[in-house]
Amino acid sequence: MAETINIDDSYLKNAAKKLISDEVIDETYINDQSNINEKRLLREAISVYPVGGYGSKMDIIKKFEKKYRKNPIEHLLITNKMEDEFKIIKGDNERVVISSDTRSFILSLKDGITVHNHPPNYEDEINFTGRQTEIYGSFSLDDILTFIDDRIVEDRVVDAKYTYVMQEPKIGWDNWLGIYSNYKTDISDYREQKKEEIQEKIESIFNTYKINEDEYKQSDWIHGESTHGANLEVSKKFKIPYARYVFT
């Protein structure tokens, strides 16, 4: 008989959610590599270095992430490893629009690093119902493709709970683009496929463990975890370093 999770027992619910993450994401990430040497090479290819990314050691980025992590408006910080040049661009509650001047600034930077927040927006912004939109969470497809187009060394996204980090491939952008020249279509199709697969697995486990939860909260949580899981799959498939860290 399937285990029933009491909706009022937050400890059991959180344990069940962790189980969902472990079964759907972590095991997919680790255990589908049967050859030990291939697994080691893959880990090296997709590991973020240093732990937490370059931005985790940079004052300007640490201050930005702390300030804007829960901000209802999306903001973008553009800087470099030396922290001697930077711009902060204010967007709206869904996106930051990149002007031609801002794009030129990004492309002019050596070792460019960008970070933006994904706002905890609400379906009802007047009454603040607490319904988070799908923009909350890990990198969107547009985020990933822009990161590649701009040849960024490190791209970062923050929300209230996590920091997501994506870095330039270990082989460098020029070599990587020589291998994955059709990356826009390939990443788009592969990511969509994997996200759908992971969503179905998560929903199945929700049903198995009979987690009765508010429809909107469940939908948002599934979106967040499946987006992260799909990005892990993109990381493995296309050898792009990626990681998610709990904000502390």
Coil vs helix vs strand at 41: helix
> Which pLDDT score is estimated for 41?
83
Q: Report the alpha-carbon distance of residue 138 to residue 97 in Å, rounded.
A: 19
Confirm if 75 and 90 have CB atoms less than 8 A apart. Answer: yes
> Which pLDDT score is estimated for 144?
98
Q: What one-letter code names the amino acid at 34?
A: S
> Which pLDDT score is estimated for 16?
58
Q: What one-letter code names the amino acid at 222?
A: I
- Among left, alpha and beta (phi > 0; psi -120 to 50; other), residue 33 is beta
* DSSP per-residue letters across 131-184: -B-TTSSS--HHHHHHHHHTT-SEEEEE-SSEEEEEE--TT-HHHHHHH-TTHH
Q: Report the alpha-carbon distance of residue 71 to residue 92 in Å, rounded.
A: 11
Q: Which of 138, 159, 141 is nearest to 149 (CA)?
A: 141
Give every strand in the sheet of 112-117, ordered side by side. 86-90, 75-80, 112-117, 154-158, 162-167, 242-246
> Which pLDDT score is estimated for 211?
61
> Which pLDDT score is estimated for 221?
76
This prediction's pTM: 0.83
Return per-residue pLDDT of the chain as tens, 248 residues: 344 333 344 545 565 566 556 565 555 544 554 567 777 788 889 999 998 999 999 999 999 999 999 898 999 999 999 999 999 999 998 889 999 999 999 999 989 999 999 987 554 444 444 444 444 789 999 999 999 999 999 999 998 888 999 999 999 999 999 999 999 999 999 999 999 988 888 888 777 766 666 665 677 777 788 899 899 999 999 999 999 998 87
> Which pLDDT score is estimated for 207?
75
> Which pLDDT score is estimated for 131?
45
